[in-house]
Amino acid sequence: MERKITIEPVTRVEGHGKVTIHINNEGNVSQSRLHIVEFRGFERFVQGRPYWEAPVLVQRLCGICPVSHHLAAAKALDVIVGAGTGDGLTPTGEKMRRLMHYGQIFQSHALHFFHLVSPDLLFGVDGDPAIRNIIGVAKKHPDLAVQGVMMRKFGQEIIKATAGKKIHGTGAIPGGINKHLTQEEKDSFINGADPLNIEKMISWGQDAVNFLKSYHKENKEFIDGFAAFPSSHLSLVRKDGAMDLYHGVLRAVDAEGKKILHDVDYQDYLEYINEEVKDWSYMKFPFLIEYGKKDGWYRVGPLARMNTCEFIPSPLAQKEFEEFKAYTNGKPNNMSMHMHWARLIELLHSAEMMKELLNDPDLMSGELVTKGEKKNEGVGLLEAPRGTLFHHYRINEHDQIEMANLIVSTTNNNEPMNLAVNYAAKQFMNGQEKITEGMMNAVEVAIRAYDPCLSCATHAIGQMPLEVVLVDAKNQIIDRKRK
């Protein structure tokens, strides 16, 4: 009998998602889709607001990655106030923002790996769901769970020191930053009581990479083969080809490593990227115009960044990068589960960059803001934890925002996430008479590798259960399960 399986909401990702899997009469997966129930009205909401409010307003989008939106909006407004296109800020302005950004990447990657992904690795994709969660990790591997907690806390404290406060931070303003780092703040991060100091964070970052590599050695088939598929990859890179998570030019490579977007200025992104609308999803599907809707899709995020950049400008992460690249003989890595390996190398890189910045005297003195000739339009991009984030604003003669366009990281990964779901569903469900919880989780594991943020921002007390609904060809519900 033909069946449709619905997984809603997807657990351990940010926000709400629903997966439908159609199984044909032969018992094989015929189609699967990830539907995103995402609010798409934000661009209209900021219209009419004074442009300088945008870096604070956009934090209403999401309680998970407000810093990324805060900084991307500020970068777009730098252009509008004449502070250049990402490289015109004062040293203090740029370095304080970078410190904020690396704090965000560090805490986000730590949270994702230790608390969302590690249960799948430690207990198995089809492990007992009663213990396959962070409470299970805390009981069996308390050292790992504590590391995750403290790394997240360290990153949050960096954000607080640079953005000014935890909620609706105001640190980044058009043309720069509104505060210096104080001596007390600097000392607390460099010489803080164990474990809350930067040396420990670097050490734990290295441990995390080693943990993943060790797991990989023992589980090659799963890590290399699970939901692996060829794709193009897109990210910012520094002009010399280095990884740069805060600023750079846009580069894309195909599955074989050939450059297909040649280090272009992101102010012109509309010349290269468009978004397709599909009637079954609220989320658009971005693609490279030159290659069309069918072939122009790409991946963003940690794996893409490893594939586009030529080196990482910090020594420990560079060493890990070389090992990562050697695994695929220098070719792009298209293995979805290697996203976790890449993410942890970035976590280590972020810790190293924070150390470098914390020791930089520019953070404690110097001009905070620069301005120049005003413009009426600006684009701000950065590499958010989950991938390339686009903010684009145009203002009118009254300094009000009249147009806003946002392409968030998860939207950039829309097509690859759908493909990953399809690969995982086929891999685990084809020919199976009974669909188990472990098979369902395998699909979620594929999605989780992309660390999607489907934020709904408003929360309320209540549960967020996983609901599985089986529907036959006539759309009649034949089974329903919740966990």
Partner 1 sequence: MLKYKILIYGYGNPGRQDDGLGNAFVEKLEKWVNSEKLDKIEFDSNYQLNIEDAEAIADKDLVVFVDASTEDIKDFILTPVNADTNVTFTTHAASPGYIVGLCKDLYNKIPATYLLHIKGYEWAFKEGLSDKAIANLELSITHIKTKLTDPGQLINQFQDY
Instruction: Note the residues at the interface with partner 1 (CB under 8 A).
Output: 11-15, 41-42, 45, 57, 59-60, 63-64, 66, 111, 115-116, 130, 133-135, 138-139, 142, 145-146, 148-150, 152-153, 156, 166-168, 455-466, 483
Minimum distance from CB of 139 to partner 1 (Å)?
6
Minimum distance from CB of 284 to partner 1 (Å)?
20
Minimum distance from CB of 483 to partner 1 (Å)?
7
Residue pair 74/84 in contact (Cβ under 8 Å)? The answer is no
Minimum distance from CB of 175 to partner 1 (Å)?
23
Nearer to partner 1, 64 or 253 (CB): 64
Nearer to partner 1, 326 or 460 (CB): 460
Nearer to partner 1, 130 or 270 (CB): 130
Nearer to partner 1, 133 or 418 (CB): 133
Minimum distance from CB of 134 to partner 1 (Å)?
6
Residue with structure tokens 């298209």? 334
Closest Cα partner for 30 from 38, 21, 43, 19?
Answer: 21
Minimum distance from CB of 155 to partner 1 (Å)?
9
Residue with structure tokens 């220098």? 330
Residues 276 and 128: their CA atoms lie apart, in Å, by 39
Nearer to partner 1, 329 or 462 (CB): 462
Minimum distance from CB of 329 to partner 1 (Å)?
36
Closest Cα partner for 165 from 100, 72, 245, 68?
Answer: 100
311 phi/psi in degrees, rounded to 5: -160, 165
Ramachandran region, residue 416 (left: φ > 0; alpha: ψ -120 to 50; beta: rest) = alpha
Nearer to partner 1, 342 or 454 (CB): 454
Residue pair 19/449 in contact (Cβ under 8 Å)? The answer is no
Q: Could you give the residue ranges of the DSSP H alpha helices within 124-174?
A: 134-140, 142-163
Q: Which two tokens stand for residue 80?
A: 């509008």
Closest Cα partner for 266 from 293, 238, 297, 292?
Answer: 238
Helix, strand, or coil (residue 441): helix
Minimum distance from CB of 174 to partner 1 (Å)?
19
Q: Which two tokens stand for residue 227?
A: 């939901």
Nearer to partner 1, 150 or 389 (CB): 150
Q: How many CB atoms lie within 10 A of CB 256?
A: 10
**Cα distances (Å, whole numbers) of residue 120 to 104, 444, 446:** 24, 10, 11
Residue pair 8/250 in contact (Cβ under 8 Å)? The answer is no
Residues 147 and 173: their CA atoms lie apart, in Å, by 33
Nearer to partner 1, 49 or 293 (CB): 49
Contact residues for 437 (Cβ-Cβ < 8 A; gap 6+): 126, 129, 483
DSSP assignment letter at 186: H
Nearer to partner 1, 45 or 327 (CB): 45
Minimum distance from CB of 56 to partner 1 (Å)?
8
